[in-house]
Amino acid sequence: MFNQFEKDYVRHSLHPDNARASREEDMDVMKQFITQSGNELTRGCLLVLYRIRNNLMHGMKLLERLDGQIELFRAATAVLESITR
């Protein structure tokens, strides 16, 4: 069941209907990051963060839901800050 969850999350949540799809290879690496399997976890993490960034910047923004994204934004920022030091 978890395998289906991560597949749907990468395909539909990280890639909303109006978003440009990532390459299949990149989607596979994102799935591997989510399940913590495979050899490219750092790449998978960065690809997931890139998709989240695209969705936050270019996606629909409902004011009543925007505050709910702050923890996701903070977590993504912390990851990026830790690798730039």
pLDDT digits (tens, 9 = 90+) for 30-73: 999 999 999 999 999 999 999 988 888 887 777 777 777 788 88
pTM of the model: 0.78
Q: In which domain, by residue range, is 64 found?
A: 2-83
- Residue owning tokens 């890639």: 15
Find out whether 75 and 35 touch, Cβ atoms under 8 Å: no
Number of structural domains, the chain? Answer: 1
Distance between CA atoms of residues 58 and 52, nearest Å:
10
Tell me the DSSP string of 41-61.
Answer: HHHHHHHHHHHHHHHHHHS--
